[in-house]
Structure formats: C-alpha cells, structure tokens
Structure 1
Amino acid sequence: MKNVQLHNIHKALNAKMLAFAGYNMPIQYEGVNAEHTTVRESVGVFDVSHMGEFLIEGPDALNLIQKVTTNDASKLKIGDAQYSCLPNDNGGIVDDLLVYRIKEDTYLLVVNASNIEKDWNWIRSKNDNNAVLKNLSDEYSLLAIQGPKAIEAMQSLTSIDLSEIKFYTFKIGDFAGIENVIISATGYTGSGGFEIYCKNSEVEQIWTKVFKAGADFDIKPIGLAARDTLRLEMGYCLYGNDIDDTTSPLEAGLGWITKLNKTFTNFEFFKTQKENGIQKKLVGFELVDKGVPRGGYEIVDSEGNNLGNVTSGTMGPTVKRGIGMGYVPTEFSSVESEIYIKVRKRLLKAKVVKTPFYKG
C-alpha cells in the first residue's frame, strides 16, 4: 500500500484510514454527515493526492488526446479544463478524466487512482503520433478545498483573484508561499471551491497555511466517505460504480461529452449506438418508502422482475432522503417512472428523478 505525502498528518488528526485504490486514504475524521455538512455550509479540505496526473506534450499532443478521448479537446483554450472519458474497444469506458490545457502544446490529464496503470498503458498504446508522455502521479499532490466559503477563506494565500476562476477553468500562480501552483475549479461536490495541484515536497506547507487561513471560517479536513455522499447528491458518476469497462458513455448519460463530430477510439460503435438508440440508461432515483438504497441492491418492477442494480446509493445527508443511481431499461427511465428497490425480502417503492438531487 502506498501512503500519500500527508499520511502522518491524517493519522495525527485521528482519521480513519482505509485502503483505497492501492493507497492508505483518510475515509473520515469526525463522521460522514458532519463532514458533508461542513462542505455544504462552509469549507472543507480533501486530500485526493492518490489521483493520477499525466503530462502530454509536443506538436502531436492534441492529436493523441483527440484520438483517445470522447470530448472535443480542440475547443480548449489555455487555462481551460474539460471533463471527458477514455472509450475502450468494446463500447465501454477505460476511465473518466479531466483534461487541462496548460500551454499551447502541453496538456495535463487527471485520472482516477485505481486506473493509473491501466490508463497509462492504454494511452501509450495509442501514441503513434510521437507525443511526449510523462507520468507525474507519484510526484504530485492534490488538495480539494470545497465549500461556499472556500474563496473568501483562501484569498489571503494568493495574489490571484480566486473569484475570477470560473467553473472548469484554472490559473497557475502563487499559493500559500509556493510558486507555479495549479488552482482549478473542477469540483466534485457541487458546493464550489477549487483544487490545488503541487509537488509532494510543497503540500505540507500548503496544508498548514490553508488551515491557518481558514481558521476563522471553521475549516475542517474531510474524508473520502463524505466526498462520495457529496458527489452522489450531485448525480456525478464514480468510476467502478456507475461507469466501468462495460458501460457506454451514452448509456451513462454522458452523451454531452461524447462528440460524434470527431473520430476517436471505437467512434463508429458509439455513432451506431446513438442512431439505433440505447437499451438501458443510468437514472437517478429517490425512495418513496423509508429506507436506504445501497450499491448492489436489485432494482425491480412492481411484479418483482429484475430491471438492474443500484450502482450508487445512500441516505443523502443534505437532501434527507434515500437516493441512488442505477441502470434500467429505457422504458423505465422517464422522470416519475415507478421502480422498486429490493432490500432483503422487502420491495421499497422509488421513483426516477432528474439529477442533481441537491439543487444548491
């Protein structure tokens, strides 16, 4: 198991540490609901340094990215970020990721921790354009400072006007006494804030100054368990749960990042799938009956016939109801469609709803 750079700090804060994607990670500190509420109402800090970072450079960098991702990276200006995914040869998803345009011919790809090696090998296998690839995953740390008070709490640490960093853009500059830090606004919580990419040798100084600057705003460390409930209230996909090697981005509601006006890996499959129509669809649902849906629970119709399975589910700490996502046949995917969640021998009534569950 690998340790993130701040491992000893998390231990000193009495974090509950668990293995996640090959890393010892802080899952919670004072409790999921309390940490979730901190991010919704004030400001919290996640250490997500287990994420992977690949640098792609050179005149052929864009060509490679266009070939391996579904979204159109040619639209990116320097300082823009983009959500995208890596399609595989079988109609599924290798991973979902973020693409940052750093310079004219320099891009940063941020991938999921559990897929670092798989993604790296996949992208390299497609690199017949001679783009220069560098795997920086073990050299960089990543902090996500999230919540409605994040900008106000952190502004004293940088000369950059944080309010000017719009959603899915970033700036590179000074932060907490460190130069050349990437400050981006690509949050996964739905409560605003930004992310800090820095070298491992710099992250402890940044962590310390972040908590000092945020002291008057009741800043707290937040674990991955609350990160999961926050992203689920927003209806954001989690790789390995809601999307994987077998799920099509069109089925997952990610048609908006699947640009069929360009060619990419397995492009013809997705084009045909869109033309013919998908057979199943990822939907959000909320329980009508009392209960808590969990990943793996069966989704059935009123007669008890199997429709699919819950891919993510929880009791939403902010929305105060049982919520979840799962794949169902398209005829059950319309808003207000009645479905049931099988919890042991009970069938709990639920309805399909439009996400996000949390409206902010």
Structure 2
Amino acid sequence: MPFIAATAKIDLPYKTEQTEARKQALELFSKNFPEAKRLIFAFDNTEIKYRNFCKPLSYYEKPNTFEERNNEYIKTALDYSVQATEDCIAKAGITKEDITDILFVSTTGLATPSLDGMIINKMRLNPHVNRSPLWGLGCGGGVSGMAKANTVAKANPDAVVLLIAVELCSLTLIKSDYSKSNFIGSSLFSDGIAACIIKGDNHKHNNEVTYVGSSSKLYYNSLEVMGWDFQDTGFKVLFSKDIPTFIKEHIKEDIDEFLSKHQLKMSDIKNFIFHPGGKKVLDAYQDTLGVEGDFLKTTREVMNNYGNMSSATVLYVLEKFMREGFEKGYGLMLSMGPGFSSEMVLLKVS
C-alpha cells in the first residue's frame, strides 16, 4: 500500500497573539457593527492563543481591493509552497526530479494557470508531472487531498506524489463586510501552507504510516452550512452555527460505518488526526464519539497555536504526529467541509 514519506509545514513570519487580533477586530467592526462589543467574547472562547498570518496586522486595517488581495494570494502561495516542498523533499530523501504527480489544494484564492503549474515552473520540476488542482473543498480539502494522493500512488506503485495545501484565509477578509459571520470568522481563521510526500509501494521503505482506505460523503440539503458568497468585493464567508449540531447528529454513525468496512471499531483507532474547526467543533467530537482520554490533544494544540487554517490545518496535525510520534495501531484523519461534507482517511501505524 502507499505510505506517507514526509510532511512539512510553514510557520509564517507574522504569527500574532489572539489578544492582538481581538483588539484590532473590535476597532475595525465596532463603528459599523453594533453587536461587536457584545460578541467580542467569541475571541476569548475559541481557545486559540496564536494566529498564523502571512501579513502583519496593520495590512488588514488598510483598504484594499479583491484584485490586490488575490495578487498577494498568488505571490505568497507560490513562495511558501516552494519552501514547504523543498523542506518535504529533503525530509523524504528524494530529489525534485523524482516527483511524478502534484495535487494542489486551496479554496482562498484564484489562479489560472493553477498554482501547481506555477510551482513546476519556478522549481523546474519534471515538465511531465501529472497535475491535479483541487479547489473549493474548504476545510475538507486536506483529508480529501490525502485520499486522492494515495489513490494516485495505489494506481501507480512507482509514483512519488506531492500534496500541497495552501489556505490564506486572512487575505479573504472583506474590510467593509460588517456581518456577524465575518466578525466570527475573524476570530478563527488563519493562514497555513503544508506539503506531504506520498510514495507508491514499489519504493523501499521502513515507513510506519501506510494508507488503508478513505471515505467521502456529501450530505444532501446542507449546501448553506458552509462556503463562500462571491461578491464584487471578494469572498464573503458563510458558515452556520449549526455545524456542531450537524456533527453530533451524523459523525459517529459515519465513522462506525467506515471502520466496519475494514473490520474495525472506534476502539481500534489510536491516533485521531482531526481538523479542529473550532472549540465547539472539538467539543462536539468529544461529546459524540465517546472515546476515553484526551484523544484530540494534538489537534487541540495545533488549533491553539495556529488557529483554523482551513484545509491545511489537518496536515499540520499530521506533521505534528509524524514529528512527535504515533501510537502503534490505526490512525483516522477526518475533516468536515462545504457541501456539507465529511472526508476520512484510515492509516495504519506500525
């Protein structure tokens, strides 16, 4: 089976304390959004201590257009994708010429040609690399990308697949949007760039993290739960307060069904590699899954130190597991995203 050879993440230069982001949000919103003072407690209740930002806080105070923000997205995404890829290549003990496939995941900016093409051009990768840009999967994109990367490596045991997730959520902030969803979003979302190398089974390895299977599910009649509303000013964030309720109603049954296909039960899962979403989402998982102990410790620590980086977050969680060590047994990657949807990947850790 395919295996995960290496992971890499980016600690951005403008990592900011949540207290500073809170202070700025109150200043930006209070004049035109009277509820700001009443809702500012949302920043305190996230349990986020630091936010990973690609720009200093002063950047977000200044007026800017969607075009300007998207141009920043392209430049920043390209620079840090290359940096994460170079780090991942070194960790995997390969050369850039070995890469056969690229999957590029993002939902926070637009580019055609897509960023994977720009990365090939800038790094002078093999011009025959197979490219798959994945757009619009939101927070579900990291797990979905991992599933698709492993599918590619399973189909071609000689494959060396590069998976990159880039989300620059801060650059989607519409300064003139004084809605509640934008205010709450400004308490959670951050920027993240992560890369992974997945190899097919023909590559020699004593790797401990192999792919077992995956699941993808779209829930009918839930399109309004999370997404973007595209406006002249840019990407207006949409998400429902009902997400934790949705998780409580569906996720345990979905996980049990997925695991049963592999003759496993929840008790067989030793490593929970979850996308955090936010404190209420983590609480919903904790309440619903009935797993003993602090099984989401690693996920919570990533959220505390980075914020919600959309699709990239779960790859930061995976990187932390890869660096600090797994418990032997099985690992479950899970994230929820627009659609409303769930994505799962089952890993075996030896």
Compute the TM-score of the two structures, normalised by the length of structure 2. Answer: 0.25
**RCO higher in structure (CA 8 A, sep ≥6):** 2
Query: TM-score, normalising length from structure 1?
Result: 0.24
Higher strand proportion, which one? 1
**Which of these two proteins has the greater Rg computed from alpha carbons?**
1
